[in-house]
Amino acid sequence: MPIRFRATLVVLLCLVCSGSHAQSLPTATRLSLDFSAGFTAVRANEGPGVCGCFYMTGGSGELAVKNARRTSLVLNFARTEQPNVNNVNQDLILYSALEGARYTLNQHGHFSPFGEALVGVSHTSSNYEYYKSTTAPALLFGGGLDINIGRRFTLRPVEAGWLFTTHRNGQNNFQNQLRMSASLVFHLHHAGWD
């Protein structure tokens, strides 16, 4: 099943479920819909055992359906790129589409740390012939900190995680990368949490 269709299906299912349950459930179980957008950086390396480390930068967007019990269903999309990797005239673009769960401590406090586990797919695009275009599974395990700055906005100054992908790299086809983000979260629907 194509990832775009799968992601759309999950979002629609979440929206339908949240709308139908929000009217009949007690306040403590109502759902909230959040959207975030921000800056993302990925620290990667040229290949196994080679530190030729470099950073890819770009942006990310996220849709999260939260409940009042500290858990969220998360859909995360990111695009990062590095033109001229380590001055060898090779460009690399990394796309990722991930979904999974997030657990937030102190969800209604000023500072809210969280942990998350996401799975999905990643896609690379490059001008280097061997790595021209590949699609592979991806995993992300990490966490971050939300700072509530108002009824409709939350600042996420740090979100970091281990991003594991399996794209062709000429040796073992495993990439262990550090992904970091900073973003602003918009609370689109906040029913029953007044």
> What is the rounded (10 degree) CA torsion for 9, 193, 143, 148?
130
pLDDT tens by residue, 37-91: 999 999 987 655 556 678 899 999 999 998 877 899 999 999 999 887 777 777 8
- Total domain count, the chain: 1
User: What are phi and psi for residue 69, nearest 5 degrees?
Assistant: -100, 25
pLDDT band at 25 (very low <50, low <70, confident <90, very high): very low
In 3D space, the residue among 136, 139, 141, 142 whose CA is nearest the CA of residue 122 turns out to be: 136
Report the percentage of the chain scoring pLDDT > 70: 76
Q: Provide the residue range defining the domain that includes 169.
A: 3-190
Output the domain CATH number for residue 58: 2.40.160.20
Statement: residue 16 has pLDDT above 60? no
pLDDT band at 9 (very low <50, low <70, confident <90, very high): very low
pTM score, whole prediction: 0.77
